[in-house]
Amino acid sequence: MKKIWKLISILMLLVIIVTSTAIAATELVVVQQTDAKSLDPTFSNDVYSHNLNLNIYDRLIDWSDNVQLEKSLAESYEQLDPLTLQIKIKKGVKFHNGDELTAEDVKFTLERSSKQPQVMTYFSIIERVDIVDPYTVNIITTKPYGPLLNAFAHAGGSILNKKYIESAGDKAFLEPVGTGPFKFESWKSGDRIVLSANKDYFGGAPFVDKVTYRVIPESTSRAIALETKEVDIVFIIDPVDAPIVKSRNYLKVYEVPAISMTYLGFNCEKGAGADLRVRKAIINAINLSDIVDTAFLKAAVPATSVAPQAVIGFNKNLKAPIQDVEKAKALLAEAGYKDGLKLKLWINENKSREDSAVIMQAQLKDIGIEAVIEKLEWGAYLDKLARGEHDLFILGWSSTPDADEALYALFHSANKGNAGNRSFYGNPEVDSLLDKARENTDPAVRNPLYEKAQEIIVDEAAVLPLVNPINISGTQDYIEGFVASPRSMYLLKNVKKNKK
């Protein structure tokens, strides 16, 4: 009888332990406004995909919370000569499937990235990667490349498991394997992606056991989900909803100037937008103050250049355009559109951009342009822009403090389409300026080149820079360790959920 009671006691203790463990498991629920386009970090160049990939994978170099470059998978690096960078990688780092990270994975990743259209703008200058030993590589570039470390920190430089990619085939990025702080668990397209903590992470285990990324496109619904404590963190709160969130004493609101530009893009290669006079007519028709005040509710400043103001090499001499309706009408008539024209204006699900589109639609009507607003699903939006099927579109571009990332992808002619130049703009002089700036590491040399490039791009109306926005995020008051990102990208390893 004693043995039976002893056995029962042991079983009850096990039940208590298992139950306690289950109760202790911590789930962090975060919200994005759009689903990831791909969990292949080299197949996408949008912040919604980056937010997932930056947490699933690691890179050789990363950006710190205060936007400084720091070593991640790289143990050390040394520039052996102008074309050769040697990187020693950390030993003992494991992929989520248990494989050890080696130089083979680094070589495979970087050479693959150098050929992928979406991210090759950052990596195409890599000629080859030579393996020195299992934990050392020499990266050889075709030319000296100043922003190389910056490129490594891009999500497209996330290090992949060579053996897994080659064996898994099509499912490799439906069930991705990285070395990052979180492991992939599941993906319900358009609804949520679930990650679990990598308890063996080389940088220390995360503070939560699971992260669920929910997709809530409508801005007010995101704010309500936070207000009703349905979710823990909302990455993007629209300015119109910020006052309500701020009024709740159990919520935290973060506001940080973004290293970002929201812009009106043209199609500089075909249709009416191929005519500089039409592009300048559109620019002269727009009042940026209305967009700042009404669409962004002052949670932005008018953009004066095609580079965000926080970028090193930003041209301070450029000014925001001033609305001049009569000049716009004259330019349109000169271009052969005296009786006006009809253009499609594309947007995605984004409240501030939707409101901006409505404002611009009314202002363009005053000069005889009928702008038909069409809202597209995010993935289809990017695909159609990449194919050049548009007339006008509103989009944003998040950067780092390096002007190369702010300008090269958007305005170099080699990047038309998927790589970032969705306005299909091209100018040999701009290409040359951006190329020369890439080949130098001295800011005294680089910055004047970037400033000149900005002057030309603005003068040729490649895009209309609208605003430099302020990023607004919100969390429950029990969340600790969350860092508001000026790059609109959020690392969650250090986030704690101290809910009582």
pLDDT digits (tens, 9 = 90+) for 99-111: 999 999 999 999 9
Q: Which residue has the higher pLDDT, 418 or 344?
A: 344
8 has a pLDDT exceeding 50: no
Q: What is the mean pLDDT of residues 243-254?
A: 95
Q: What is the mean pLDDT of residues 156-173?
A: 94
pLDDT value of residue 395: 96
Classified by CATH at the fold level, domain 57-161 comes out as Dipeptide-binding Protein; domain 1 (3.90.76)
Which are the contacts of 389, defined by CB distance < 8 A and separation ≥ 6? Answer: none
Q: Is 88 left (phi over 0), alpha (psi -120 to 50) or beta?
A: beta
455 has a pLDDT exceeding 50: yes
Instruction: Supply angle C-alpha 112, 118, 124, rounded to 5.
Output: 50
User: For 225, which DSSP code?
Assistant: H
Q: Is 288 exposed, middle or buried (0-12, 13-18, 19+ CB in 10 A)?
A: buried
The band of 19, judged by pLDDT with boundaries at 50, 70 and 90, is: very low
Segment 408-436, tens digit of pLDDT: 999 999 999 988 999 999 999 999 999 99
Segment 251-305, tens digit of pLDDT: 999 999 999 999 999 999 999 999 999 999 999 999 999 999 999 999 999 999 9
pLDDT value of residue 139: 98
* Cβ proximity of 88 and 135 under 8 Å: yes
Q: Round to whole Å and give the CA distance between 376 and 71.
A: 39
- Sign of the four-CA dihedral 320, 323, 327, 331: positive
The per-residue DSSP string of 317-360 comes to: T-------HHHHHHHHHHTT-TT-EEEEEEE-S-HHHHHHHHHH
Tokens, residue 257 = 């100037």
402 has a pLDDT exceeding 60: yes
CATH number of 260-469: 3.10.105.10
Q: Round to whole Å and give the CA distance between 278 and 216.
A: 37
Q: Round to whole Å and give the CA distance between 421 and 427.
A: 12
Q: Round to whole Å and give the CA distance between 207 and 13.
A: 26
The band of 21, judged by pLDDT with boundaries at 50, 70 and 90, is: very low
Q: What is the mean pLDDT of residues 316-324?
A: 96
pLDDT value of residue 374: 97
Segment 115-152, tens digit of pLDDT: 998 888 899 999 999 999 999 999 999 999 989 999 99
Domain ranges of the chain: 28-33+171-258+471-497, 57-161, 260-469
The per-residue DSSP string of 286-320 comes to: --HHHIIIIISTTSEEE--SSS-TTSBT--TT---
Residue-averaged pLDDT of the chain = 93
Instruction: Supply angle C-alpha 280, 282, 284, rounded to 5.
Output: 70
The band of 4, judged by pLDDT with boundaries at 50, 70 and 90, is: low
Tokens, residue 457 = 């791009």
| pTM given for the model | 0.86
Q: What is the mean pLDDT of residues 218-232?
A: 95
445 has a pLDDT exceeding 90: yes
Specify the residue for token string 């970002």: 260
pLDDT value of residue 14: 47
Q: Round to whole Å and give the CA distance between 144 and 69.
A: 19
Q: Is 188 left (phi over 0), alpha (psi -120 to 50) or beta?
A: beta
Tell me if the domain spanning 28-33+171-258+471-497 has CATH number 3.40.190.10. Answer: yes
pLDDT value of residue 500: 56
Q: Round to whole Å and give the CA distance between 296 and 351.
A: 9
17 has a pLDDT exceeding 50: no
383 has a pLDDT exceeding 80: yes
Q: Is 21 left (phi over 0), alpha (psi -120 to 50) or beta?
A: alpha
